[in-house]
């Protein structure tokens, strides 16, 4: 089965052709990604209308570049991100998917973007169910128990800011530009993570929820209290101490959920899963405390938004004949996983 994946939920235009081979392995035949990061960095964040315009400008040349026959020959289905995300941005991919499905007479699959992030690890590995997934991205921080393909239970989520959002906001406070995650991680390499004792929000609560807005406020206070000169010198320590607080909170809560739900594998995915400190901390503690549980994180180029993960999630839907009529599909900014 060969599926065309389309992703335009935020600020990356992405197309991919992924084939599921007879031996069950996924083969990425082609994948293209046009990032709009430079365009949005001028505004300090993603501007939905600008994102839509950029998607329109990029997506047709990218489709041409894939070199698919005019009648869609060789493609068995089209998988498109239908939500959640920014409506003007989502619509570009959704409308393209609908038109191609109609003209090529191919089945259409509506993929949830978060499901896509989870499936990014299937590109190179096969987690065993039940799997516990820590999904950490720009808009979401969720602990999800995945009992089978398409069978999800959300056991915890953020009550305010997402982890990626916290990285981006703290980066702004430190004048590091957008997106903030990679910039904080880089600066943190030179800092002392134990220098400032930032709060570990909700780390001891009896649930699996997160909260990062108080941590962001603590950083803001720290920055405000320092002189400008001290801030410049201390930025590395602030970045390192902030990152340590986020990582410890995420890892502690995930391990508590591991204890309760006893999964066979743990999946870390979403844009923040690119963070090396988070990846190595979670992997290390899991290997040490529960060596029988396998750990899966996407390859670095699959941590952010891409169409490979959308195509893979789409293939699992296609295997269950879960298709949607192209005349009824609409972009859903609040699309839910369950
Ligand atoms: N190395 C890193 N460390 C921490 N955060 C990172 C790193 N690399 C990227 N990020 C963060 O990941 C986020 C982007 O992830 P992603 O593209 O999955 O989010 P999104 O698609 O905007 O949101 P969502 O997937 O929730 O709709 C940004 O907030 C970015 O700062
Ligand atoms: Mg994303």
Which ligand 1 atom lies nearest to the CA of residue 114? 25
Which ligand places an atom closest to the C-alpha of 12?
1
Whether 216 is in the pocket of ligand 1, judged by its Cβ within 6 Å, is no
Going by pLDDT thresholds of 50, 70 and 90, the confidence category of residue 44 is confident
148 contacts: CB under 8 Å, gap ≥ 6? 129
pLDDT of 312: 98
163 CA distance to ligand 1 centroid (A)? 8
Q: Judge whether 107 and 101 are in contact, CB under 8 Å.
A: yes
Report which of 318, 251, 304 is spatially closest to residue 279, judged by C-alpha positions: 251
Whether 140 is in the pocket of ligand 1, judged by its Cβ within 6 Å, is yes
Q: Judge whether 274 and 304 are in contact, CB under 8 Å.
A: yes
227 contacts: CB under 8 Å, gap ≥ 6? none
Report which of 107, 50, 117 is spatially closest to residue 84, judged by C-alpha positions: 117
Going by pLDDT thresholds of 50, 70 and 90, the confidence category of residue 228 is confident
For ligand 1, atom 25, the nearest C-alpha belongs to: 137
Q: Where are the domains of the chain?
A: 2-119+302-319, 128-297
CA 177 to CA 170: how far, in whole Å? 10
pLDDT of 254: 98
Reply yes or no on whether the pLDDT at 229 is more than 90: no
Whether 121 is in the pocket of ligand 1, judged by its Cβ within 6 Å, is no
- Token pair in block for residue 24: 């069950």
**Mean local confidence (pLDDT), 257-264:** 98
Reply yes or no on whether the pLDDT at 179 is more than 90: no
* Number of neighbouring beta carbons within 10 Å of residue 255: 17
Asked, colleague to colleague, whether 2-119+302-319 and 128-297 share their fold, the answer is: yes
What pLDDT digit, counting tens, does each position of 94-121 carry? 999 999 999 999 999 999 999 999 999 9
For ligand 1, atom 5, the nearest C-alpha belongs to: 181
Residue range 128-297, CATH number: 3.30.420.40
Which ligand 1 atom lies nearest to the CA of residue 304? 17
pTM, 2 dp: 0.97
Whether 138 is in the pocket of ligand 1, judged by its Cβ within 6 Å, is yes
Distance spanning both ends of the chain, measured CA to CA? 26
Whether 5 is in the pocket of ligand 1, judged by its Cβ within 6 Å, is no
CA 167 to CA 221: how far, in whole Å? 16
For the chain, how many residues are written? Answer: 338
Residue range 2-119+302-319, CATH number: 3.30.420.40
CA 257 to CA 263: how far, in whole Å? 9
**Mean local confidence (pLDDT), 163-171:** 96
200 CA distance to ligand 1 centroid (A)? 20
Phi, psi of 326 (to 5 degrees): -60, -20
Which ligand places an atom closest to the C-alpha of 243?
1
């Amino acid at each position: 089965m060969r599926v065309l994946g389309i992703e335009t939920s935020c600020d990356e235009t992405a197309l991919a052709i992924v084939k599921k081979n007879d031996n069950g392995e996924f083969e990425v035949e082609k994948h293209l990604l046009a990032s709009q990061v430079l365009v949005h960095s001028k505004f300090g964040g993603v501007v939905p209308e600008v994102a839509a315009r950029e998607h329109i400008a990029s997506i047709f040349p990218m489709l041409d570049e894939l070199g698919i026959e005019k009648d869609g020959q060789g493609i068995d289905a089209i998988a498109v991100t239908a939500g959640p995300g920014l409506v003007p941005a989502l619509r570009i991919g959704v409308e393209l998917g609908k038109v191609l499905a109609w003209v090529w007479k191919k089945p259409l699959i509506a993929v949830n973007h978060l499901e896509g992030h989870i499936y990014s690890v299937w590109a190179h590995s096969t987690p065993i169910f039940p799997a516990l997934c820590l999904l950490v991205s720009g808009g979401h921080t969720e602990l999800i128990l995945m009992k089978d393909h398409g069978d999800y239970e959300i056991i915890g989520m953020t009550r305010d800011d997402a982890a990626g959002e916290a990285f981006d906001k703290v980066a702004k406070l430190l004048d590091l530009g957008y997106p903030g995650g990679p910039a904080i991680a880089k600066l943190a390499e030179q800092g002392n993570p134990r220098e400032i004792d930032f709060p570990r929000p909700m780390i001891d609560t009896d649930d699996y929820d997160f909260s990062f807005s108080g941590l962001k406020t603590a950083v803001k206070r720290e920055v405000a209290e320092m002189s400008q000169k001290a801030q410049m010198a201390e930025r590395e320590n602030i970045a390192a101490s902030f990152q340590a607080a986020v990582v410890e909170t995420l890892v502690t809560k995930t391990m508590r959920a591991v204890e309760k739900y006893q999964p066979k594998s743990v999946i870390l995915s979403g844009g923040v899963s690119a963070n090396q400190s988070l990846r190595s901390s979670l992997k290390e503690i899991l290997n040490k405390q529960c060596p029988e549980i396998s750990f899966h994180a996407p390859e670095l180029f699959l941590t952010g938004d891409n169409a490979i993960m959308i195509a893979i999630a789409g293939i699992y839907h296609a295997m269950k004949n879960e298709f949607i009529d192209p005349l009824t599909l609409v972009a859903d900014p609040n699309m839910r996983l369950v």
